[in-house]
């Protein structure tokens, strides 16, 4: 499995990511409250709407990442962090460094994404 040093590293990393997302969520809420300013310029309204749409999209993506982070933190607590959910083999350390909340090893992920697998 993952060493204690790696557990500590990934736990710290994930907690920092979680904190960053929660701070952005708070900023998003403040932005939502201050966006109620009325304007008469159509271009400004369209620009504000586009900006708001982009903020909502990014907020939703962050929310999904937050769920994955919480799941990974739960695995750290349970001692199963770094274990593939499909084959139960160890997820390569390089994969975890690139994507700390990875649930599958590379082989299982590739198999899942293989179009031939999807059709069967």
pLDDT in tens, 56-74: 777 788 889 999 999 999 9
| CATH number reported for the structural domain that contains residue 19 in this entry | 1.20.120.910
Q: Give the separation between CA 112 and CA 30, rounded to whole angstroms.
A: 40
Count up the domains in the chain and report the number. 1
pTM of the model: 0.70
Rounded Cα–Cα distance for residues 87 and 108 (Å)? 7
Phi, psi angle pair for 74, to nearest 5°: -65, -40
Q: Each residue of 29-51: pLDDT tens digit?
A: 676 666 655 556 777 777 777 77
Residue 58: give the domain boundaries: 4-119
């Amino acid at each position: 499995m993952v060493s204690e040093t790696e557990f500590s590293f990934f736990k710290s990393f994930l907690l920092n990511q979680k904190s960053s997302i929660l701070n952005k969520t708070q900023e998003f809420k403040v932005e939502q409250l201050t966006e109620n300013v009325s304007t008469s310029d159509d271009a400004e309204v369209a620009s504000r709407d586009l900006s708001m749409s982009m903020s909502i999209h990014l907020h939703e993506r962050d929310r999904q990442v937050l769920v994955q982070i919480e799941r990974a933190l739960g695995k750290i607590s349970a001692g199963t962090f770094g274990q593939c959910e499909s084959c139960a083999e160890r997820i390569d350390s390089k994969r975890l460094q690139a994507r700390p909340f990875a649930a599958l090893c590379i082989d299982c992920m590739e198999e899942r994404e293989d179009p031939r697998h999807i059709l069967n």
